[in-house]
Amino acid sequence: MGKFVITTRKSGEFQFNLKAGNGQVILSSEGYSTKTACLNGVESVKKNSQEDARFEKNVAKNGKFYFNLKASNGQVIGNSEMY
């Protein structure tokens, strides 16, 4: 079962990572100025990840694959690791 882990960056911003059951990071968020905003981001992932259309699949310059999860307004909520 996956879980969300919230951490504080050196800059003081909050960030969440969605981790798989094996501890591998699946999705990382942007930086948030408050913990409440970060928690709202977690809820946004839970909501928007239910719709395939919210996932934007990409290929990096190095040929590795990754995806972005977007909210209904088009804003990126989080991005995956490279695969």
- pLDDT digit string, tens, across residues 38-79: 999 999 999 999 999 999 999 999 999 999 999 999 999 999
The structure's pTM equals 0.88
User: What is the rounded distance in angstroms from the CA atom of residue 35 to the CA atom of residue 48?
Assistant: 20
Count up the domains in the chain and report the number: 1
CATH of the domain at 39: 2.30.29.80
| Domain span holding position 27 | 3-80
CB within 8 Å of 35: residues ≥ 6 apart? 6, 14
The per-residue pLDDT for range 7-49, each reduced to its tens digit, is: 999 999 999 999 999 999 999 999 999 999 999 999 999 999 9
The three-class DSSP label of residue 8 is: strand
Alpha-carbon gap, residue 83 to 72, rounded angstroms: 25
